[in-house]
Amino acid sequence: MTKTVGLLALILSALIFGFFYAWVCSTMWGLDRLDPATAIAAMNAMNGSVRNGVFAPAFFGTAPALLVAAIVAWQNRPAALFFGLAAVTYALLGVGITASVNAPMNAELARTAIPDDPAQAQQIWTAYSSRWQTWNQIRALGSGLAFILAALGFARLK
């Protein structure tokens, strides 16, 4: 059972890291190449579609799965420590940043009327995109670190 829980935690960690990483290296760069009004509309559409049953287990389930893996592996202190550190890392840098920065920014963008004036749309998109990407890079690095910690924990399971 310990390896099964550890493997589930590791897989969820990999999935959420991959999700945030894809936004870093392709999605936002692609949106930045679009007309700003189109980028705003596309970002709003993607943000609206991400709340689904495929995304939820990776986003919401990773920290609890890592914590359960730490508890189940308690007899193996090094494994438990790595899983526990992974849980805290992802909770703070993945969920915490999303809840305190990226999601509020997404909600604010969704409430913003897309202006007809291209210069205004550019100003809105540039301000949003640069800040959003900075915080997304931090949560991608955080979730990547959580994945590495989970992998180290899993490697120590017997």
Query: pLDDT by residue for the chain (158 residues), tens digit each?
Result: 899 999 999 999 999 999 999 999 999 999 999 999 999 999 999 999 998 999 999 999 999 999 999 999 999 999 999 999 999 999 999 999 999 999 999 999 999 999 999 999 999 999 999 999 999 999 999 999 999 999 999 999 98
**Cα distance between residue 94 and residue 58, in whole Å:** 11
The pair of three-digit structure tokens given for residue 157, joined into one six-digit string = 């399971």
Cβ–Cβ under 8 Å, residues 129 and 64 = no
Question: Domain residues of the chain, as ranges?
Answer: 2-155
**Cα distance between residue 115 and residue 132, in whole Å:** 20
Report the run of H or E that residue 141 belongs to, with start and end. Answer: helix 118-155
